[in-house]
Amino acid sequence: MESLGGAEFAPDTTYLNTSYCGLLPARAAEAMSALIRELATGRSAGDHDRITAVRHSFARIAGVGADRVALGGSVAVHVGLIASSLPPGAEILLPEGEYTSVVTPFAVRGDLKLRYAPRAALADAVRPGTALVALSAVHSSDGVIADLPAVREAAAAHGARTLVDASQSAGWLPLRAGEWDFTVTGGFKFLLCPRGVSFLTVTEEAQRTVAPLHAGLFAAEGLDTFYGPIERFASSARRFDEAPAYVSYHGAEQSLALLEEIGADAIHAHTTGLARRFRDGLRSLGHAPLPGDSAIVAVPGLGGRAPELARAGVLVSDRDGNLRVSFHLYNTSADADRVLDVLAAA
């Protein structure tokens, strides 16, 4: 299988570590460089129209209206905003071993009740009184896709709100953000954005329950409140925006445009096809990858070989003892085969 990225990418390694950080498309790097040159000469401070373009582009990728999208720089900040909206004593249900940015903002409140359940049994653990169920769509350590329909159905049955972290899925696994009260997504992985770009989606109903605690200029309806408190917040999720990092968002505009050009279905088919090829190759070598149809492949007990692979020019990750290999649009069948060759040579 050939790369979908064309001339946009030119890695000088066998790069299979998008779960850690995605590669920047050439067009994104050039957009950022152009703004930096303008900043250095005083010809620009950044173009807010590009920020608006990013919001609309992510909204299309997420399958929601742009009025439900807030922009920021960190998943943990978005989760902290949601945590701040909950009453004391509210019960938060989380999978065991959930990523720290999803857990910690609730934990530091000190007056919330955090309850954990095995990932595979999360839906069964929802109960009357559960205020919020929070989970990753695809788990960071092993790439396992959560049973999202079951969690959504259980939460609805018990009147619980839902929060999904799509950082390890958006960009290869189609995102249906409208099915959840909240989604949070770090842009620097499979969305191929620079660090400093993140997204929060909020349903219209949930927007009425969250206060814009870190509101600044960009949260105002008219973007013209320079002094004193904001008297009229944006009527959309924009009131939850953080001030955008212009250089990063100039790059993000180009990254998201590329993903839209290629299309979610094509990227999903490409990445999962490569992952299946890799799983089959692992089994032929006597290894036992975790089953599933994720673009992220984990091999328990093999994480210690990540340094050896790096020395051979193959970049992957070691997460909880798992060798974690993640495929994206710029990868090819030759990349999958290269990992297998290095593993077989030892």
Estimate the crossing angle of helix 246-262 against helix 48-62, to 10 degrees. Answer: 40
Q: What residues are paired with 115 via a beta bridge?
A: 93
Whole-number percent of the chain with pLDDT over 70: 100
Q: Are residues 226 and 100 part of one domain?
A: yes
State the CATH number of the domain containing residue 158.
Answer: 3.40.640.10
Domain boundary (210, 235, 261) is at: 261
CB atoms within 10 A of CB 42: 7
Please write down the HEC assignment for all residues of 189-216: CCCCCCCCCEEEEECHHHHCCCCCCCCC
Closest to 68 measured CA to CA, from 158, 164, 178:
178
Q: Which pLDDT belongs to residue 45?
A: 76
Q: Are residues 242 and 99 part of one domain?
A: yes
Domain boundary (261, 280, 307) is at: 261
Q: Are residues 192 and 57 part of one domain?
A: yes
Q: Are residues 103 and 250 part of one domain?
A: yes
Q: Which pLDDT belongs to residue 250?
A: 96
- CA separation, residue 186 to residues 73, 170, 179, 198, 208 (Å): 8, 9, 19, 5, 24
Number of domain units in the chain:
2
Residue 346 has pLDDT above 80, yes or no: no
Look over the chain and give the mean of its residue pLDDT values, rounded to a whole number: 95
Torsion on CA atoms 83, 84, 89, 92, rounded to nearest 10: -10
- Which residues constitute the domain of residue 308? 6-25+263-345
Q: Which pLDDT belongs to residue 46?
A: 75
* Inside any domain, residue 193: yes
* Inside any domain, residue 1: no
Residue 184 has pLDDT above 90, yes or no: yes
pTM (two decimals): 0.95
Residue 141 has pLDDT above 80, yes or no: yes
The encoded tokens of residue 80 equal 């902290």
Q: Which pLDDT belongs to residue 6?
A: 85
Q: Are residues 70 and 101 part of one domain?
A: yes
Mean pLDDT for 153-182 is: 97
pLDDT tens by residue, 267-319: 999 999 999 999 999 999 999 999 999 999 999 999 999 999 999 999 999 99
Q: Are residues 124 and 66 part of one domain?
A: yes
- CA separation, residue 318 to residues 140, 141, 168, 339 (Å): 11, 8, 16, 14
Q: How far apart are the C-alpha atoms of 79 and 213, rounded to whole Å? A: 12
* Inside any domain, residue 173: yes
Sign of the dihedral through C-alpha 164, 167, 171, 172? negative
The encoded tokens of residue 206 equal 């949930």
pLDDT tens by residue, 63-83: 999 999 999 999 999 999 999
Q: How far apart are the C-alpha atoms of 32 and 261, rounded to whole Å? A: 20
Q: How far apart are the C-alpha atoms of 43 and 21, rounded to whole Å? A: 31
Q: Are residues 248 and 147 part of one domain?
A: yes
Q: Which pLDDT belongs to residue 337?
A: 97
* Inside any domain, residue 139: yes
* Inside any domain, residue 176: yes
Q: Are residues 236 and 93 part of one domain?
A: yes
* Inside any domain, residue 201: yes
pLDDT tens by residue, 218-229: 888 887 778 888
Q: Are residues 251 and 228 part of one domain?
A: yes
Domain boundary (216, 239, 261) is at: 261
- Report CA 15 to chain centroid distance, whole Å: 19
* Inside any domain, residue 219: yes
* Inside any domain, residue 33: yes
State the CATH number of the domain containing residue 333.
Answer: 3.90.1150.10
CB atoms within 10 A of CB 200: 26
pLDDT tens by residue, 199-208: 999 999 999 9
Q: Are residues 58 and 11 part of one domain?
A: no
Q: Are residues 279 and 238 part of one domain?
A: no
Q: Are residues 138 and 52 part of one domain?
A: yes
